[in-house]
Amino acid sequence: MSHDPMNPHLQSSADPSRSSEEIRQDFLQFFQAKGHEVVPSASLVPDGDGTLLFTNAGMNQFKDVFLGTGQRPYSRAVDTQKCLRVSGKHNDLEEVGHDTYHHTFFEMLGNWSFGDYFKAEAIRWAWELLVERWGLAPDRLYATVHEGDDDFGLSADADAYDLWLSETPLPEERVLYEPSKENFWMMGDTGPCGPCSELHVDLRPPEARRETPGRELVNVDHPQVMELWNLVFIQYNAQTDGSLEPLDDQHVDTGMGFERMVAVLQGKESTYDTDLFAPLLQAMADRSPREEIRGYDDLHIEDDDEHEQVRIALRVVADHIRAIAFAISDGVMPSNEGRGYVIRRILRRAVRYGYQTLELEEPFLHRLVDPLIEKMGGPFDGLAEQQEFIEQAIRSEEESFLETLGTGIEFFERVVPHVTGFQDTDREESDRLLGALREDAQAMDLLEKAYVDTDDENDILHSFARTARGGTLPGQIAFLLHDTYGFPIDLTRLMARERDLDVDMEGYEKLMGRQKRRARESSTVGEATGEMEVSVSVEREVRLEGAEVTVTESSDWKRVKDDNEGSEFVGYDQTEIMTKVQSFRVLDTEEGKHRQIELMRTPFYAEAGGQVGDTGTLRFGDESVQVLDTQREGERIAHTVDTLPESLDGPVEAAVDAERRNHIRTHHTATHLMHAVLRETLGDHVQQKGSLVAPDRLRFDFSHFDAVDEDTLRHIERRVNTAIQQNIPKQEARDVPIDEALDRGATALFDEQYGDRVRVITFDPDFSMELCGGTHVDATGEIGLFRFLSEGSVASGVRRVEAVAGKAALEHVESELETLTRARRQFRSLHTSLPEAIAEVQEERDRLAGEVDQLRRGQLSDQLDTFIAENAASVDGITVVTGRLDRASMDDLQELGQQFRDKLGEGAVGVLGSVGEDGEKAYVVATVADDLVDDGALRAGDLVGTLGDRLGGGGGGRPSLASAGGRDPEALDTVLDGVPDLVRDRLE
């Protein structure tokens, strides 16, 4: 069975040989020729925007310009923006792959005008590109404009309507007025906004177009009558009372879905049929062990349902690897929280489809990074530069999930038939099904693990049945899949939906909430870094792990001076200046009033790049105000103060806490030196993944998969201190074009957002050169001393080091010396050196521990004879002996198991069990005599497989001796009591 993706009814210009690379470049060059600056894509992690989990539109990086808080050195721009939409109103992750047009990761082509050209040029150039340059058939295009809105007090956008008629050959019947829902764009309930004009294309065959005019299908979600390009005319500022205030400047913001445009120009029905996805789809087909899967359009599968399921799986994996790889390249590592949790969900969804449908039981996703880079590494060089790290990060996640995936799927498959069985049953049938479920020992074992709040078996059964009768998988099951087997809830819902089942989300959320509360209660409060939770400046949508919440600010900034639009930072050169207040605000927080002041000029550094904000003093005449923290909001630098002065008018003396600043800059420069040595020592794959530069310490997260051993840490530490002793002078270059800085060899951080002009900090061009806006010492010798405190893992593929420098390092060394001095005092009477004395004590400790362990094992061994004498049972002529040992490890059991087997002799089976010292796990070992193994009657591996399952785990081993473990220690006595019946069942 094959599939022909070509649509013979697409516009005559369709050309399958026109590559996506050519289309992307053609778009950029078209607008570059019209005076637009080609700007790079922003990171998928929005810079300084707490309202977004990921960059989801081309306008995100220009949001400050529209808000009036930022500027650019150009008035026209064009780009292709990496976007990720996986939550909220923009996309439903569960749909991706099931249809042929949803995506998680996509590109948004856009051209921009910041107070320059407006509607006429935007409309004229859109038509010129689509029709005159790309050759789309004019009679298939429709334009929409805003019909007006009484609530906004707006009349119809007659300007745009007339321009479509005057600037293009579109007839009136193909220019349509549409309501605000479709043709008025808003950033949020407040802020920049304006009417928009969309271009739609009708891709239906001629007979369908004759039967129903395309104008009747615009904006009705018809798959072949779709939007291509949205031209937004930003000309208003929405107020809190719902009114619209005209902006001083008018802007153009356009967005074209690249994947969709490629499909149209290549004459494909689906974005997945384009060359953007073809290499990934083929790579997946080649990797699948199923011989009938030879390609996305070459599936030798007769069953239509199975045929479509395979195509769905291929689409899911091809889409998801793009999202995963690009997110990791922008610094988002799979994890259990925030952005990282979203990427982990996407990755696990892809792995599950590959595992179940394509029969890929080994890690495979990481192998798709190479074909992805071959296709997209050109315009997005961050992929190629981090290929090895991206592959390692993905593989690590795959291996971790695959360890539990199979078991979790087995659990799901064991329970789901019982759920479907209870659907729409009457009482008599329900009683029969309850009896059948009670007899299913494995299913009951799983239910007991899931229903942790219920001890009574009957209550568990009836609770399960009540939920199942409505065709719903209980929330307890969904939670266990998440908590024990790592299944994100959307993956469980997807698996349930494939069986026409719902999931009890209320029950699931209840258990998740309780788990989070326990985690909060058991965790310690993090160290304060001057951060404070405050409400946000405008009412807006905030997305976090798919949730949507709305937060509001209690007060806007109130301007004191009108002669400056932004704060000027002068703190690189001065720590004390005379200045004036520009604006202020007061926010309501959980802790009370939160006061902030903006100065026209300020020496206070606002928190950025990991460096904490400055503190200090503002002096208003005889009145002093303490600055508690400094943060940046767009072009505004906000000083959080303990109180507001009586008068904000007049001169202000602003003084940074110079001593604190000095400790901070010491740690910041030490971070640069350490980063350089890490790359020098561990390899160029080392990239910064997080940073904290504080007065008392530095923290640095970096990409690396292996622990950095003690010897390597000491080498890095010595190398940093050598650079400090060399007293390398700082070289500072401000306002450098970013391309020039990168050409010089400056290190740029992939998770940082840079402007067109940057600051470069260098300590020897051959050693450390970084793009950085932070404060630094004038020469490395000012640091004095550098010392590591710790090294560890914070996420898959990400290591963390903490260190101290300068005064903090000296204090740390003095503390270590004091500890060493106290230790020496303990050995004052010894004639040997301290290291030798400690070695002797350790040797004696190890000798005594060995003697204690030997004595303990002897006591355990003595119990074996007691078990044989008191616990022996006969099963069809076979002697079966069980026994429980306290505080025996798995190693103990395996050693004792061999002794047990020798003592029992022929015709005997023995099973020993123990609960680990932590009380959280149970272990069993089974032995079978050689004559029983030879007869084929019994095998130890078969026995422990069942025993381990009853203990909530698993195991295996040789036919004569095997072991197992599980997470249900309370079941151990019952499991041991059931061994004779298990042997009897095996014999039968």
Pairing assessment for the beta strands 878-886 and 908-915 based on DSSP bridges: parallel
Q: Write down how long the chain is.
A: 988
Q: Is the pLDDT of residue 91 over 80?
A: no
Which residues neighbour 575 within 8 Å (Cβ) at sequence distance 6 or greater? Answer: 603, 616, 655, 656, 658, 661
Q: Distance between CA atoms of 619 and 429, rounded to whole angstroms?
A: 82
* Other Cβ atoms within 10 Å of 63 Cβ, number: 21
Average pLDDT over residues 395-420: 87
Which residues neighbour 961 within 8 Å (Cβ) at sequence distance 6 or greater? Answer: 894, 897, 898, 901, 925, 926, 927, 928, 940
Q: What is the DSSP string of 916-985?
A: -TTSS-EEEEEEE-HHHHHHTS--HHHHHHHHHHHTTEEEEE-SSEEEEEES-GGGHHHHHHTHHHHHHH
Quick one: pLDDT at residue 500?
A: 87
Q: Are 702 and 689 in contact (CB under 8 A)?
A: yes
**If pLDDT is split at 50, 70 and 90, which confidence band does 751 have?**
low
Q: Is the pLDDT of residue 311 over 50?
A: yes
Task: Quote the percentage of the chain above a pLDDT of 90.
Answer: 47
Q: Distance between CA atoms of 428 and 421, rounded to whole angstroms?
A: 13
Average pLDDT over residues 317-328: 95
pLDDT digits (tens, 9 = 90+) for 669-681: 999 999 999 999 9
Q: Distance between CA atoms of 13 and 6, rounded to whole angstroms?
A: 13
Which residues neighbour 184 within 8 Å (Cβ) at sequence distance 6 or greater? Answer: 146, 149, 152, 193, 194, 195, 196
Quick one: pLDDT at residue 562?
A: 58
Q: Residue 281 is inside which H or E element, if any?
A: helix 278-287
Residues 598-629 as b/e (b if ≥16 CB within 10 A, e otherwise) read: bbbbbbbbbbbbbbbbbbbebbbeeeebebbb
Q: Are 366 and 282 in contact (CB under 8 A)?
A: no
Quick one: pLDDT at residue 532?
A: 29
Q: Residue 329 is inside which H or E element, if any?
A: helix 304-329
The DSSP call for residue 407 is H
**If pLDDT is split at 50, 70 and 90, which confidence band does 87 have?**
low
CA dihedral sign of residues 837, 841, 846, 847? positive
Segments in 827-928 forming alpha helices (H): 834-870, 890-904
- The SS3 of residue 58 is helix
Quick one: pLDDT at residue 4?
A: 40
**If pLDDT is split at 50, 70 and 90, which confidence band does 550 have?**
very low
Q: Is the pLDDT of residue 522 over 70?
A: no
Average pLDDT over residues 487-507: 87
Q: Is the pLDDT of residue 202 over 80?
A: yes
Quick one: pLDDT at residue 520?
A: 55
Q: Is the pLDDT of residue 127 over 80?
A: yes
Q: Is the pLDDT of residue 472 over 70?
A: yes
Average pLDDT over residues 896-911: 91
pLDDT digits (tens, 9 = 90+) for 577-633: 999 999 888 887 666 778 999 999 999 999 988 899 999 999 998 899 999 999 988
**If pLDDT is split at 50, 70 and 90, which confidence band does 667 have?**
very high
pLDDT digits (tens, 9 = 90+) for 867-881: 988 899 999 999 999
Q: Is the pLDDT of residue 528 over 50?
A: no
Structure tokens at 959: 């036919």
Structure tokens at 862: 């003595």
The DSSP call for residue 829 is T
* Report field, pTM of the whole predicted structure over 0.95: no
Q: Specify the range with the lowest mean pLDDT, choosing from 149-158, 322-331, 422-431.
A: 422-431
Q: Residue 920, class by beta-carbon neighbours within 10 Å (0-12 exposed, 13-18 middle, 19+ buried)? A: exposed
Structure tokens at 154: 């707006």
Q: Distance between CA atoms of 124 and 712, rounded to whole angstroms?
A: 62
Task: Quote the percentage of the chain above a pLDDT of 70.
Answer: 90
Which residues neighbour 780 within 8 Å (Cβ) at sequence distance 6 or greater? Answer: 669, 673, 723, 724, 726, 727, 728, 763
Rg of the chain, C-alpha, whole Å: 34
Q: Are 289 and 360 in contact (CB under 8 A)?
A: yes
Pairing assessment for the beta strands 141-146 and 175-178 based on DSSP bridges: parallel
Quick one: pLDDT at residue 828?
A: 62
Quick one: pLDDT at residue 168?
A: 95
- The SS3 of residue 587 is strand
Average pLDDT over residues 783-787: 93
Quick one: pLDDT at residue 752?
A: 64
Q: Is the pLDDT of residue 525 over 60?
A: no
Structure tokens at 177: 């007025």
Q: Residue 594 is inside which H or E element, if any?
A: strand 592-599
Quick one: pLDDT at residue 656?
A: 96
Q: Is the pLDDT of residue 904 over 60?
A: yes
pLDDT digits (tens, 9 = 90+) for 596-609: 999 999 999 999 88
Categorise residue 445: left if φ over 0, alpha if ψ from -120 to 50, beta otherwise.
alpha
Average pLDDT over residues 532-551: 28
Q: Specify the range with the lowest mean pLDDT, choosing from 140-154, 476-490, 637-651, 759-773.
A: 476-490
Q: Distance between CA atoms of 259 and 276, rounded to whole angstroms?
A: 8
Q: Are 579 and 599 in contact (CB under 8 A)?
A: yes
pLDDT digits (tens, 9 = 90+) for 920-961: 888 999 999 999 988 887 888 889 888 988 888 877 778 889
Q: Is the pLDDT of residue 445 over 70?
A: yes
Which residues neighbour 767 within 8 Å (Cβ) at sequence distance 6 or greater? Answer: 673, 676, 723, 728
Q: Specify the range with the lowest mean pLDDT, choosing from 376-380, 466-470, 729-733, 952-956.
A: 952-956
Structure tokens at 512: 């998740």
Quick one: pLDDT at residue 827?
A: 67
Q: Which amino acid is at 863?
A: Q
Q: How many helices (H) and strands (E) does the chain have?
A: 29, 37
Quick one: pLDDT at residue 8?
A: 43
Q: Is the pLDDT of residue 366 over 90?
A: yes
Quick one: pLDDT at residue 785?
A: 92
Q: Distance between CA atoms of 343 and 962, rounded to whole angstroms?
A: 39
Pairing assessment for the beta strands 191-202 and 636-641 based on DSSP bridges: unpaired
Q: Are 333 and 797 in contact (CB under 8 A)?
A: yes
The per-residue pLDDT of the chain, averaged, comes to 85
Structure tokens at 688: 């910064």
Q: Is the pLDDT of residue 11 over 60?
A: no
Q: Residue 449 is inside which H or E element, if any?
A: helix 441-450
